[in-house]
Structure 1
């Protein structure tokens, strides 16, 4: 086991119970159905975050965790570190997850599901292996995990599944602690509602400043990923399609008369590797016939560093330099509708709610509970051990 308070090493394998097709899964999920429609008892919820530094001394060690295995020297990491150093080395993500953990635990209790909500991170304290070990010590051996990311892709879904496998292997609990995951919640109405409200309010604010609907452009912003990862996401191109479906629903509900487009941000990786485009700053610079722009962080559940730096700092500066009126709408955070949505995702698994009765908006129905074979593959890294899905 890794020392307390450190990221676990990658797992070398996964535990499969006799007759099971999904590692470390509850009986209802072990055979790999698309949707688990039998009631399942859980002991706790495992809220799973990306993690972030909480002081200047944490920044480089945190970035080493994020880039582990890629051989990136500290000098190059320091080029990214300045985003965090601008905010005194503190990422907002841990504070937001503390708030979300408390709000979710409260909402679950209100709904008659008094489950403890554990919290673990992939890349910084508290780590997932520490959370799993703590759960076992408390007698909490059947967990339903919620990743703090709504969409299907390697980095937003499968990598969480790999990290849960790492945590189970590191603690030696792969045959004693079971972990299922909630479905990707991009189109749960409670996740979408804060974006509807944000666009509605921003359009009204623009109108109050004398900017008409035909003079606005709404940019739905999400994290860019390599095009190769996008091609395998959700079984085939689902990362951009899921975002587009959400954006279409938001605009049809909030502002059908306003133009919009899906844009990307926070690109990293080598220059020769293609990533999803257009970049938000390029999209702003290319606007014609517009007096205002609304930035909607549809790919984020809270104000991550990518929101505070890439949107609030760089994109707002690009828009301002172009002479555009600009607003950035809120992330879901601890909006009551979002917190209730997460509670509902847990409730539907506890109840074994049929897929046809699950809450979902947009042209895409409720996504899978158990990831399908090869879902969200990363062809550069190959298939690493992962749970909550069918192999590979």
Structure 2
């Protein structure tokens, strides 16, 4: 070892994770599960305060926020995400109990009640000090991984609990079989519907859709020393999962072998001058008739459950775009509380409780299993500057 090398620091980590291993392969006696979500408004009066939280630090006036609040207003000011996470929490508790795992689940959000601060304080008040966090995002990027880790560090610092509570985080689960299987089922059912109705394979297109992010964030997704090409780990992970899904569907339904697919993006925000990942799902749909496509399966590959971005951007806007283009469309389900997904999440909990060796951890792509402890500068946000982040090697 180089005597001048800086010591490894993993802020707020359990003893097993503190030395910074890529995978924690020893048992850890976690005493609570922290379910971390994005949060969403639950009434019209919540919409603007919620959007203030989402955009905190950017100085965006309420008048501008109101301009982007229309999709929440359309649904009575209620985002489906909190109800989805309540259902997921209950499903996790049921599966943990079924397996005889005594691990209470505390749920907290980044942007709306119940907040992460409340969840961590409630856990500490109950005597739980070694927390295992499960963020409701499967892929690697600043907003879907590192920002949650920064949230954990901020909460432990601001509450003064950092000297007695640790938070480790479950690996990004983009290629875990439990996450992938519901998408396989959904795509198989959608293309089977088209095929059974006499649509030729060449006239069917599968669009795997995920949240667009700034290209600068995408390029920095994943560890700095891991070169995964244009779009970084974020794009590479989605593409790898989409390939697995299509191969599995073709194996179950050979006629689907000739069906084309592509990765598309949605829900872009930010100034027009800032490059974001493309192409946009609606732009692609508009072009499909010119490619001889008459039926499209829209797959919310980047989403764990039916977020507002799914209900509005896909079920409303993308579905309307398909109708305007004169093509049939089916939006496939998100994992939600699919039994395979819930079981897979508890499998992920068990691999950390038991210290399952990385070689024995299930994964459906060559990119996995992803890291338990994020590597230095993983998914950094250079615009916001360095912030401490739990469950990863500093900085």
Q: Distance in 2 between matches of 1:307 and 1:383?
A: 31
Q: Distance in 2 between matches of 1:186 and 1:79?
A: 33
Q: Distance in 2 between matches of 1:104 and 1:164?
A: 21
Partner of 1:345: 348
Structure 1 position 228 matched with structure 2 position 216:
yes
Relative to structure 1, the CA distance from residue 143 to residue 379 in structure 2 (aligned partners, 3 Å threshold; closer, same or farther) is same
- Please tell me the root mean square deviation across aligned C-alpha atoms, in Å: 0.9
Q: Is residue 249–residue 362 contact of structure 1 (8 Å, CA) maintained in 2?
A: yes
Q: How many residues align?
A: 374
Q: Is residue 37–residue 352 contact of structure 1 (8 Å, CA) maintained in 2?
A: yes
Partner of 2:138: 150
Moved over 3 A (4+): none
Give the superposition deviation at 1:46: 0.3
Structure 1 residue corresponding to 2:296, chosen from 290, 293, 297 = 293
Task: Give TM-score scaled by structure 2 length.
Answer: 0.93
Q: Distance in 1 between matches of 2:306 and 2:76?
A: 16
Structure 1: gaps (5+ residues): 1-18
Give the superposition deviation at 1:165: 1.1
Q: Distance in 2 between matches of 1:314 and 1:119?
A: 31
Structure 2 residue corresponding to 1:247, chosen from 235, 242, 255 = 242
Q: Is residue 11–residue 388 contact of structure 2 (8 Å, CA) maintained in 1?
A: no
Partner of 1:111: 99
Q: Distance in 2 between matches of 1:249 and 1:380?
A: 34
Partner of 1:309: 312
Structure 2: gaps (5+ residues): 1-6, 251-256
Q: Distance in 2 between matches of 1:274 and 1:324?
A: 30
Structure 1 position 389 matched with structure 2 position 392:
yes
Corresponding residue SS for 1:32: coil
CA deviations over 1:102-131 (Å, ceiling 9, x no partner): 101111122221211110000000000011
Structure 1 position 123 matched with structure 2 position 118:
no
Q: Distance in 2 between matches of 1:169 and 1:212?
A: 58
Partner of 1:210: 198
Structure 2 residue corresponding to 1:92, chosen from 60, 66, 80 = 80
Q: Is residue 8–residue 393 contact of structure 2 (8 Å, CA) maintained in 1?
A: no
Give the superposition deviation at 1:295: 0.3
Partner of 2:277: 276
CA deviations over 1:22-54 (Å, ceiling 9, x no partner): 111111100100000010001110000000000
1:349-368 alignment runs, 5 A limit? 349-368=352-371
Structure 1 position 326 matched with structure 2 position 309:
no
Give the superposition deviation at 1:20: 6.3
Structure 1 position 376 matched with structure 2 position 379:
yes
Give the superposition deviation at 1:361: 0.4
Partner of 2:253: none
CA deviations over 1:269-322 (Å, ceiling 9, x no partner): 111000000000011112211010100000000000000000000000001100
Higher mean displacement: 224-233 or 252-261 = 252-261
Q: Is residue 209–residue 298 contact of structure 2 (8 Å, CA) maintained in 1?
A: yes
Partner of 1:66: 54
Give the superposition deviation at 1:70: 0.3
CA deviations over 1:134-184 (Å, ceiling 9, x no partner): 111100111100000000000000000011111111211011111000000
Q: Is residue 105–residue 114 contact of structure 1 (8 Å, CA) maintained in 2?
A: no
